C-alpha cells in the first residue's frame, strides 16, 4: 500500500512545522493536500511543494467548522480522490497563564487543538475504513505529556493524545492506525526567542528540532515498517522531558 503515492491531507499546512512535513511527504512521492485557515496560506504551502518537484493541492478550511470539514471531504473526493492519510497539525499556542485566561480563550484552544482533529478524524475515518487502510497522525506536544505553564495548550494537547489512544477501539481491525507525535521545541514561528535561548540549557541534545525531522517521523509512521505502531506517543524532544535534574551544569 505505502509504496504507491498516497493522498495525504495535512491541516495547518501553511505553518512552520508543515514546511518540513509537506516537503518530506512530497519527496516520498505522496500527493500533499494542503489545508489551512485561508487559501493564501494553503496555496503558498502547495506552491512550495510544487516548486520542489512534488504534487500538492490547496484548500481553505477552519478545522473547528464541522460543515466546512464535511464540504472539504466532498470537494477533495470529487477533485482528487480519497484521503488515505490524515495529519492533524493545525494548532494554536495561547500564551496565557490561568490569571490571564477566561472561558473563551480556553475554549478556543480546545476547539482548534482538540475538537478540530476530532472533527477531521470523524469525517475521514469512514472512507479509510471502507478501504481497509488508513493512517492518522496527530501532532500533539510534550506540553501534553508533562505539566506546562499555559493550561489551555497543555490540556488541549493532553486531550488530543488521549483521544488518539481512545480511538484504538473504534479502529479495531479496520486497517487504520492512529498515533501522536509529541515534539519539543521545533524551529517554527510558534517558538519565541526566550524559549530558543533556553534550549542549550534544558535539552540534552542542545538542538532545536527541525521541521524536516517531524516530516521524517510522519513518513515513518505511514510506512509499512510502522504498521504495528498504533496508539502511541512518538516523543521527539532531545531528551528534555526524560530527565529531572536539580543541578544545572549547563548554564552559559
Ligand atoms: N513549534 C513547536 O515547537 C511545536 C512543538 C510541539 C507541538 N507543536 C504543534 O505543531 C503544530 C504545528 O505548529 P507550528 O509550530 O507549525 O505552528 P504555526 O503557527 O507555524 O502553524 C500552525 C498553522 O495552523 C493554522 N491554523 C490555526 N488555526 C487553524 C484553524 N482553526 N483551522 C485551520 N488551520 C488553522 C495556522 O494558520 C498555521 O498555518 C501545532 O499543532 C503545534 O501545537 C509545535
Q: Which atom of ligand 1 is nearest to the CA of 153?
A: 43
Cell numbers linked to 212? 524536516
Q: What is the tally of structural domains in the chain?
A: 1
Residue 110 lies inside a defined structural domain of this protein: yes
Q: Which atom of ligand 1 is nearest to the CA of 90?
A: 24
Residue 181 lies inside a defined structural domain of this protein: yes
Residue 243 lies inside a defined structural domain of this protein: no
Domain housing 222: 7-236
Nearest CA among 236, 190, 237, 189 for reference residue 217: 236
The mean pLDDT of 75-102, rounded to a whole number, is 97
Residue 57 lies inside a defined structural domain of this protein: yes
The predicted-structure confidence for 153-166, as pLDDT tens digits, reads as follows: 999 999 999 999 99
Residue 242 lies inside a defined structural domain of this protein: no
Residue 128 lies inside a defined structural domain of this protein: yes
DSSP 210: P
Cα of 91 to ligand 1 centre, how many Å?
4
- CB hemisphere CA count around 27 (13 angstroms): 12
| pLDDT higher than 80, residue 251 | no
The mean pLDDT of 119-141, rounded to a whole number, is 98
Distance (Å, whole) CA 246 – CA 28: 43
45 touches ligand 1 (CB under 6 Å): no
Cα of 210 to ligand 1 centre, how many Å?
14
Domain of 99, CATH number, reads 3.40.50.720
Cell numbers linked to 190? 510558534
**pLDDT in the model for residue 249:** 66
Instruction: Please check whether residue 46 is in contact with residue 17, taking contact to mean a CB–CB distance below 8 angstroms.
Output: no
Distance (Å, whole) CA 155 – CA 15: 21
**pLDDT in the model for residue 96:** 96
Look over the chain and give the mean of its residue pLDDT values, rounded to a whole number.
96
The mean pLDDT of 135-152, rounded to a whole number, is 96
Nearest CA to ligand 1 atom 1: 186
Residue 248 lies inside a defined structural domain of this protein: no
Residue 247 lies inside a defined structural domain of this protein: no
Amino acid at each position: 500500500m505505502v509504496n504507491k503515492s498516497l493522498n495525504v491531507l495535512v491541516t495547518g499546512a501553511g505553518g512552520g512545522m508543515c514546511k518540513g512535513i509537506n516537503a518530506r511527504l512530497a519527496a516520498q512521492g505522496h500527493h500533499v493536500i494542503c489545508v489551512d485557515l485561508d487559501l493564501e496560506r494553503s496555496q503558498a504551502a502547495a506552491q512550495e511543494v510544487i516548486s520542489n518537484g512534488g504534487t500538492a493541492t490547496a484548500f481553505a478550511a477552519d478545522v473547528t467548522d464541522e460543515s466546512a470539514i464535511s464540504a472539504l471531504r466532498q470537494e477533495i473526493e470529487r477533485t482528487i480522490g480519497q484521503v488515505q492519510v490524515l495529519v492533524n497539525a493545525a494548532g494554536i499556542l495561547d500564551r496565557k497563564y490561568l490569571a490571564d485566561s477566561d472561558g473563551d480563550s480556553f475554549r478556543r484552544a480546545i476547539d482548534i487543538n482538540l475538537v478540530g482533529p476530532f472533527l477531521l478524524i470523524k469525517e475521514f475515518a469512514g472512507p479509510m475504513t471502507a478501504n481497509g487502510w488508513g493512517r492518522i497522525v496527530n501532532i500533539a506536544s510534550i506540553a501534553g505529556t508533562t505539566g506546562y505553564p499555559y493550561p489551555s495548550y497543555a490540556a488541549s494537547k493532553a486531550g488530543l493524545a488521549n483521544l488518539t489512544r481512545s480511538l484504538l477501539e473504534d479502529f479495531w481491525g479496520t486497517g487504520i492506525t492512529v498515533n501522536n507525535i509529541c515534539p519539543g521545541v521545533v524551529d517554527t514561528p510558534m517558538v519565541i526567542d526566550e524559549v530558543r535561548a533556553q534550549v542549550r540549557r534544558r535539552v540534552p541534545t542542545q538542538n532545536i528540532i527541525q521541521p524536516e525531522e517531524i516530516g521524517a517521523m510522519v513518513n515513518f509512521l505511514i510506512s509499512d515498517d510502522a504498521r504495528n505502531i498504533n496508539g502511541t506517543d512518538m516523543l521527539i524532544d532531545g531528551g528534555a522531558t526524560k530527565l529531572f535534574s536539580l543541578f544545572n551544569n549547563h548554564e552559559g
